[in-house]
Amino acid sequence: MSNLLQAIRGMSDILPADTVRWRQLEKDIIGVLSAYGYDEIRMPIVEASSVFHRSIGDTTDIVQKEMYSFDDRNGDSLTLRPEGTAGCVRAVLQHRLLHQLPQRLWYMGPMFRHERPQRGRQRQFHQIGVEVFGAEGPDIDAELILMTARMWQALGLRNLRLEVNSLGTAAARANYRAVLSDYFRAHEEDLDADSQSRLTRNPLRILDSKNPEMAALIAAAPSLSDHLDTESREHFDALLEILSDSGIDAVVNPRLVRGLDYYSRTVFEWITTELGAQGTVCAGGRYDGLVELMGGKPVTGVGFAMGLERLLELRSAQGVEAAPPAPECYLLATSDSLNRHVIVLGETLRQQFPDWSIVSHIGGGSLKSRLKKADRSGAALALIVGEDEYANQSATVKSLRNDTAQVTCSLTELNATLERLLD
């Protein structure tokens, strides 16, 4: 058996060949967030376990089965964050950010859940999350959905379906839960094991079941839309009007729910059919009761989260690939004795061209092997310093991407020569 150390199952390395795709994805999404006036917040990866017990709930699968929790040396129970909203609420309460409303925030980073690794689902995964506090109307719900639609444009993604629903108020949902519980209890023998467990804990979660044998039973269940309060219905209708006016097609899915009591009114998901069973690429909604649940004064909240691995996989499936940026110039000396002069020249060029990528050769080798490395770097130009060039205070510039003849010029003319050849 090999003694080679391995990454933990479900926690993958992201290698240099892939990081360019990650950086481009993050840049495109952050660009849209900035254009809408959202501010970044960075929370710790580790939180007190109580943050998630209070927010997510002790009866959920996440808390019962999936959290990475441990006791530190002081005996405090800590948890690697399984999602971002709870930590964000904790942060805005701790630092009194809710004294100035509204707050439009976003964050990005790894999350952790101990579940079976599979396609599109890792134990360490990465999310970008958005949270807005102190905005009550349907306009902010619409803004988040419109912003995600603009992200799909920026990412070059297509064929994403928007599904929306309203959960109503806590009181309306409690009445519906009782009706739904009665319905499923009358068909308890037709429920699978997970749904029988959910029937006791939270019957709304049965509507999330992906078991095809229960599809007909779920389709015939009472609809939440028939139990909405008047104010929530008006809120939802106004949201649909804004989306329609903005050219966004939304499918009203009465089976789209959230299992926790602090969720209210709008919920939405963006779904693709190109990633198999893991089709949701973005999920969001209102959680107007969460801030109060976590110890703050009642403040409305709404947000969404999207998994970066899933977006990258969808980008790849649709043929949207980010090409690695090629350096403008590769610097090399013809012998090791001239390396120090090339290093100094490289720093001078980086000072003159701060937006360029300039790679200096390392590792020795013959001139032929050095030129091969220059070519493999993808650089547009190779800048060569040999004994003659050093003696004459000059450099030779060789194009690596076309048949332009190489040019030897004085160092005083070098900047203009490089700009001309790269134009």
CA distance linking residue 166 with residue 163, whole number of Å: 11
* Residue 138 shares a structural domain with residue 56: yes
Q: Is residue 195 part of a domain?
A: no
Whether 272 and 384 share a structural domain: no
* Judgement on whether residues 299 and 338 belong to the same structural domain of the protein: no
Q: What is the pLDDT of residue 189?
A: 87
Per the structure, the count of domains in the chain is 2
On the question of pLDDT at 357 being above 60, the answer is yes
Based on the fold, state whether residues 361 and 242 are members of the same structural domain: no
User: Residue 101 above 80 pLDDT?
Assistant: yes
Average pLDDT over residues 393-403: 92
Kindly tell me if the per-residue pLDDT of 402 is higher than 90: no
End-to-end CA gap in the chain: 56
- Same domain for 389 and 412, yes or no, is yes
**3-class state of residue 180 by DSSP:** helix
Residue 303 contacts residue 318 (beta carbons within 8 Å): no
Position 391 pLDDT exceeds 90: yes
pLDDT of residue 58: 56
264-284, pLDDT tens digit by residue? 999 999 999 998 777 899 999
Q: Residue 337 is part of a domain; what is its CATH number?
A: 3.40.50.800
What single letter denotes the amino acid at residue 227? H
Residue 203 confidence (pLDDT): 86
Q: What is the average pLDDT across 300-321?
A: 94
pLDDT, tens only, 119-141: 667 899 999 999 999 999 999 99
CA torsion 136-139-143-149 (nearest 10°) is 130
- Domain with 66 in it: 16-168+228-317
Distance (Å, rounded) from C-alpha 277 to C-alpha 310?
12
- Candidate from 56-60, 222-226, 256-260 with smallest mean pLDDT: 56-60
Tokens of 219: 């389709």
Same domain, 42 and 99: yes
Q: Does residue 339 share a domain with residue 305?
A: no
Say if residue 36's pLDDT is above 90.
yes
Longest dimension (CA), the chain: 94
Least confident range of 100-104, 225-229, 417-421: 225-229
Domain boundary among 251, 286, 317: 317
339 and 270 in one domain?
A: no
In a domain, 67, yes or no: yes
Backbone angles phi, psi at 245, to 5 degrees: -65, -25
Above 70 in pLDDT, residue 57? no
Confidence at residue 342, expressed as pLDDT on a 0 to 100 scale: 93
* Pair (161, 248) in one structural domain: yes
Residues 245 and 300 reside in one and the same domain: yes
Same domain? 51 vs 158:
yes
The average pLDDT across 4-23 equals 92
**Percent of the chain's residues with pLDDT above 70:** 97
Q: Is the Cα dihedral 7, 10, 11, 12 positive or negative? A: positive
Mean pLDDT of the region 205-223: 86
Q: Give the model's pLDDT for residue 72.
A: 94
